[in-house]
Amino acid sequence: MRTLNRYIVLDYLVIFLTALGLITFVMTVGALVKAVDLMARGISSVLIVKFFFLNIPYILSFSMPISTLFAALLLFGRLSMDSEISAMKSCGISLWRLTAPLILLSILFSAICVYINCEVSPAAKYASRELLRTAGVEEPITLLEEGRFIRDFPGLMIYVGRKNGTVVKDVVAYELDKAGGIKRSVRAKNGDIAADNTNRLLTVKLYDVRIEIPDAKDPHDVSKTTYVNAEYYPIKLDFEKALKGKPTVMKRGQMRMGQLVDRIRNVERDFPMFSQKDLLIEKTQLIVEANRRISTAIGCFSFMLIGIPLGVKSHRKETATGMILSLVIVFAYYLFIVVAKSLADYPALHPNLILWIPLIAAQFLGIWLIRRSS
């Protein structure tokens, strides 16, 4: 049995590592394009190499679960087509005993992915961002990340619900005084972003605007708040200080898990000027990010469970079948991630739970199919 286990594990690892290398390389196309762009701007080759390798951990967080699934489908598809599975069953070896080492291996992969997703990848993403900022090549428009309150600009906090190129929607801006209190809040359904690289200004042109001005003497009395509607309201942002000044505020995806959990527990402390609705939205987005990291890592285990029986049941040419099934399953899973992120602004829907639906379904279905095949 040890010889058989060694044969299965080694064969699986060869396929897994090959798939991991190929998939990771394909997914680095975006980083390669950015590296070429940096080279065209005259950035030193040392910084370009650093930027490229800082993107690898984030890519691995996705390529490892995909490679786990692909290798399982490919290996067991081949074993099934060569009638090796049937031969093992005739010798009294159940599919559970045959796959137990690979299931344990997938748990190890998940643990590695948890560490990458929670510690290595966020730190690398922040280091990459700081590298571009200090080199003076970060695009100013990227400072306005959607779904996050940005505090990089002095005297202002701004939130962009959706962004498509230079078009923004569901914008909320708080103009702050020196003490950090709200002087004025601006809400707009849509707007446009224009960057003035000469004057180092970023102009957010807002349309269909509602402005709330708290009373200077009694800002907490809502009855004294002044409300103004406007068709157009421009906000000018000095991105020179945001790009070149003190270290920028970490985005959610750039926080280590400990920092993310601390922000979730103390969101009221970090955003004292937010309304209860905005606090709940920010907290939900943080929770979705934390759940995404863990669920993506657990994908290695879930994909192994579903990949083994599907590979056994495939009767066509194993490579083509494995690739097609991998693409279908991965597409379905990452579709849930997109849906969860898009619903992060609606806390009542508990979007963080959506991330776990395909994983739990894959685990139950995989266990049932393995038992049935055994």
Alpha-carbon gap, residue 232 to 221, rounded angstroms: 27
Alpha-carbon gap, residue 270 to 82, rounded angstroms: 60
The C-alpha angle with vertex 147 and arms to 143 and 153, in degrees rounded to 5, equals 35
Q: What is the pLDDT of residues 322-366, one digit of tens each?
A: 567 667 778 888 889 888 888 888 888 889 999 999 899 889 988
133 pLDDT band (50/70/90 cuts)?
low
Q: Do 69 and 326 touch, CB atoms closer than 8 A? A: yes
Q: Do 332 and 273 touch, CB atoms closer than 8 A? A: no
* Token couple for 236: 């000018």
Reference 267, options 251, 282, 287, 288; nearest CA is 282
Q: What is the pLDDT of residues 182-195, one digit of tens each?
A: 788 888 888 888 77
Position 302 scores a pLDDT of 92
119 pLDDT band (50/70/90 cuts)?
very high
Q: Which residue has the higher pLDDT, 72 or 241?
A: 72
Q: Is the pLDDT of residue 154 over 60?
A: yes
Position 197 scores a pLDDT of 63
113-120: average pLDDT: 94
Lowest mean pLDDT among 71-75, 325-329, 370-374: 325-329
Position 321 scores a pLDDT of 57
The C-alpha angle with vertex 87 and arms to 86 and 88, in degrees rounded to 5, equals 90
78-97: average pLDDT: 72
305-327: average pLDDT: 68
% of the chain beyond a pLDDT of 90: 18
Alpha-carbon gap, residue 250 to 296, rounded angstroms: 21
The C-alpha angle with vertex 286 and arms to 353 and 143, in degrees rounded to 5, equals 135
175 pLDDT band (50/70/90 cuts)?
confident
Q: What is the pLDDT of residues 200-241, one digit of tens each?
A: 677 888 888 888 888 777 777 767 778 888 888 888 877 666
374 pLDDT band (50/70/90 cuts)?
low
Position 316 scores a pLDDT of 47
What distances in angstroms separate CA 217 from CA 99, 183, 214, one per listed residue?
A: 71, 11, 9
Please give the mean pLDDT across all residues of the chain.
80
260-281: average pLDDT: 82
Where are the chain's structural domains?
Answer: 2-137+286-373, 153-246
Please count the helices (runs of H) and the strands (runs of E) in the chain.
14, 6
71-89: average pLDDT: 77
Q: Do 150 and 140 touch, CB atoms closer than 8 A? A: no
Position 167 scores a pLDDT of 83
Q: What is the pLDDT of residues 15-42, one digit of tens each?
A: 999 999 999 988 888 777 776 766 665 5
Most confident of the ranges 43-47, 83-87, 129-133, 161-165: 161-165
Q: Do 71 and 16 touch, CB atoms closer than 8 A? A: yes
Q: Is the pLDDT of residue 178 over 60?
A: yes
Three-state DSSP at 207 gives: strand
CB count within 10 Å of CB 3 equals 7
Output the DSSP codes for 152-205.
-STTEEEEEEEEETTEEEEEEEEEE-TTS-EEEEEEEEEEEEEEETTTTEEEEE
300 pLDDT band (50/70/90 cuts)?
very high
304 pLDDT band (50/70/90 cuts)?
very high
